[in-house]
Structure 1
Amino acid sequence: MQTQKERYLWLLSRKLSGGITEEEKQELEALAKADPQLRKEAEAMQVFWGRSSGENEEDTRSAFEHLKARMHATDPQMWPEEAPGTAGRGWRVYLLRAAAAVFFLAAAGYIIKASGLLPGNDGGLRADYNVRGTRSHIKLADGTTVWLNSDSELKYPMRFKGATREVYLRGEAFFDVARDASKPFIVHTETMHVNVLGTSFNIKAYPEDSASEATLITGEVMVELKSNPEKKIRLRPAEKLVVPNKTDSLPEASAGAAPVIMKPTYFLKADSAIIETAWVDNRLIFQDESFGRLASRMERWYNVTIRFENASIQHLRFTGIFGKEQLEQALRALQLTEHFNYRITDDTVTIY
């Protein structure tokens, strides 16, 4: 009897080969929603499959021959050698069978190591990426704990070497850094370097957003801006640094494109919830936020694309909290305070 993981990978192989039925496709999506980790693991094989079709087939075939040899050595009965004369597209069929195997990760890991065709092999760094709608928890080798938000990627070494502990972030993450005075912890983003010894803080650094943010909860951090390395900005607890990603002005800052230090946003005076870090507790909190800005957060939260037919609707403002609400429940809740309509087609929401 197939395990859930084996079933998922078998369905994925059907999808990659183009032979999946609509019923099987729905089952695949349901399994992915039930266990996001399966989807994360399977993305590696999908990337490999997509890239292999556009690259030199001989090079890809050669890399896969190494994989076949390893699979055969592991279990000759499940992975028999091909009979003579089965050339042509046989290696691709073999790949589909490998995708459906219980030791999928070993196969994907071997391709990463042997051919470098898959992500995650960047100068000895491991890359963890969360697709939209998923969040994860990572424990680094030094004891540092990281909560990684949706549509975010963290690159980090399996073991820290040298005089510093350095990681690379695209997206949003909350860090609870293990204290080690001899080895500063540095988070690199596209706009800034955040240097700490032992503290907890949140960094939001989506390149497509108008600004990046560093919100300090405990301890102390020093921020160096890539645009102005000479200037060091020190943050203390309950302070937030807002740094423009582009040259356009920030709605939060009257000083145009200059970095701004401000206070984190508490949801209500009687509520201790901090909006900037509420996502760690699986809560999407917004306060007097424009629909346009809220929509971009909802896109990552629910793994959808939101489009506005009427640009003026983007200026509607909302305050509230989403926790376990499904997408339609959230949209109906917003309709209780402002008038708008919506329609959902597949993974696209149209607001009008």
Structure 2
Amino acid sequence: MNISPEEFKRYAKGEASPLEKGKIESWLNQQEDGGTEATGEDEQLAAVWRKLSATAGIEDEITNIRGGRSLRKGRLIMLSKIAACFVFAMGIGWLVKDYFIKPTVLEAAPMKTVRTEAGQRMNITLPDGSKVLLNAESELEFPEAFTADNRLVTLNGEAFFDVAHDKSKPFIVHTDSSYTKVLGTQFNLSAYGSDAKAVLTVERGKVMFGRHDSKEQVVLTVGMQGTLAYNKGVTSQTVQPEQESAWKERVLQLSNEPLSEVAKKIERWYGVSIKIKSENLKSLTVTGSYREKSLEQVLSSLEFTTGLKYEIKDKVVTITE
């Protein structure tokens, strides 16, 4: 895996980009799993961590990374000390000389970030041929070439993935709260930073889904949906996948959801701001399916089925009882 000293430095100081953070944490997870034989590059990266930890005086916290258990007292404790090492030690130049002998190890493909606005959807073809449909107010970050031993992308928002099969390079999606790993499959992942949960629905194949910690991941198959709420484990259920990804066909699908969550969907769909004046209304559950309907058509339907009242003024929707 191509990880440069500069990326290690930014990660240890808490300044890494989401993709850099995901790449390093993915590598750390691989070392903790102990399921694959270390490559020459992995040995070099492991040597960097050992050197840094020794400089910081915590070499007793690291065991043989190539063996089974890699971190004894926890990665976060170790990283905080390594960060201090970066700040007060003589620098990182000697690491480049002693451990990154091959220039190719330092090379990383340029990154690309794609964003959508409210009401916008965008088709993206990744370097490996995988197809991604990005939903409204979403962001996808990925390298211009998958040169590492995996295909790592970072998502904030919602997207439908049609992943090209490559047994030698697993496809990994990092979000703020979740970790998804596949070889080749189709799935919908909703993980907006403003939402209280990440939801993944499998349409084809098999998906590993959960937190970044490999101990909190489950395997989901066709027709299964995994939900990862903050501070909770993954729960799964059987669903109709086409309903969860109905937005691909420009269908606003509401399935027994509280009005507070429905409001977020409508905001992203139509580019408006919604204010719900009643606490009782926020917990009111709503169900409906709206194909290419206008904002007023959707609100009128909700008014008819629930009795709520609404007013639209300058792209601000006020909902009252």
Q: With structure 2 as the length reference, what TM-score do the two structures score? A: 0.63
Q: In structure 2, the residue corresponding to 1:142 is in which secondary structure?
A: coil
Which one of the candidate residues 192, 195, 212 is aligned to 2:178? Answer: 192
- Aligned equivalent of 2:112: 126
1:242 aligns with 2:210: no
Give 1:139's aligned amino acid.
T
8 Å CA contact 1:290, 1:315 repeated in 2: yes
CA positional deviation for 1:261: 1.2
1:348 aligns with 2:316: yes
1:145 aligns with 2:107: no
- Aligned equivalent of 1:45: none
Partners of 2:315 and 2:109 lie apart in 1 by: 35
Compared with structure 1, are the counterparts of its residues 258 and 162 closer, same or farther at alpha carbon in structure 2 (3 Å cutoff)? closer
8 Å CA contact 2:254, 2:287 repeated in 1: yes
CA positional deviation for 1:314: 1.9
Partners of 1:317 and 1:186 lie apart in 2 by: 34
CA RMSD of aligned residues (A): 1.7
Partners of 1:222 and 1:138 lie apart in 2 by: 23
8 Å CA contact 1:275, 1:286 repeated in 2: no
Compared with structure 1, are the counterparts of its residues 183 and 304 closer, same or farther at alpha carbon in structure 2 (3 Å cutoff)? same
- Deviation per residue, 1:180-220 (Å, 9 max, x gap): 11111111111122111110001111121111011111111
1:212 aligns with 2:198: yes
Q: Which stretches of structure 1, 4 residues or longer, exceed 4 Å deviation after superposition? A: none
- Deviation per residue, 1:56-90 (Å, 9 max, x gap): xxxxxxxxxxxxxxxxxxxxxxxxxxxxxxxxxxx
Partners of 1:274 and 1:198 lie apart in 2 by: 19
- Aligned equivalent of 2:154: 168
Q: In structure 2, the residue corresponding to 1:299 is in which secondary structure?
A: helix
Which one of the candidate residues 294, 306, 320 is aligned to 1:338? Answer: 306
- Aligned equivalent of 2:238: 263
8 Å CA contact 2:210, 2:228 repeated in 1: no
Q: In structure 1, the residue corresponding to 2:136 is in which secondary structure?
A: coil
CA positional deviation for 1:309: 1.4
CA positional deviation for 1:262: 1.2
- Aligned residue-pair number: 213
1:319 aligns with 2:287: yes
Which one of the candidate residues 304, 321, 328 is aligned to 2:296? Answer: 328
Give 1:194's aligned amino acid.
T
Compared with structure 1, are the counterparts of its residues 330 and 160 closer, same or farther at alpha carbon in structure 2 (3 Å cutoff)? same
CA positional deviation for 1:287: 2.2
Runs (5+) with no aligned partner, structure 1: 1-121, 248-256, 267-272
- Aligned equivalent of 2:215: 230
- Deviation per residue, 1:9-29 (Å, 9 max, x gap): xxxxxxxxxxxxxxxxxxxxx
1:298 aligns with 2:284: no
CA positional deviation for 1:224: 4.5
- Aligned equivalent of 1:252: none
Partners of 1:288 and 1:224 lie apart in 2 by: 24
Q: With structure 1 as the length reference, what TM-score do the two structures score? A: 0.58
Give 1:237's aligned amino acid.
V
CA positional deviation for 1:244: 1.1
- Aligned equivalent of 1:309: 277
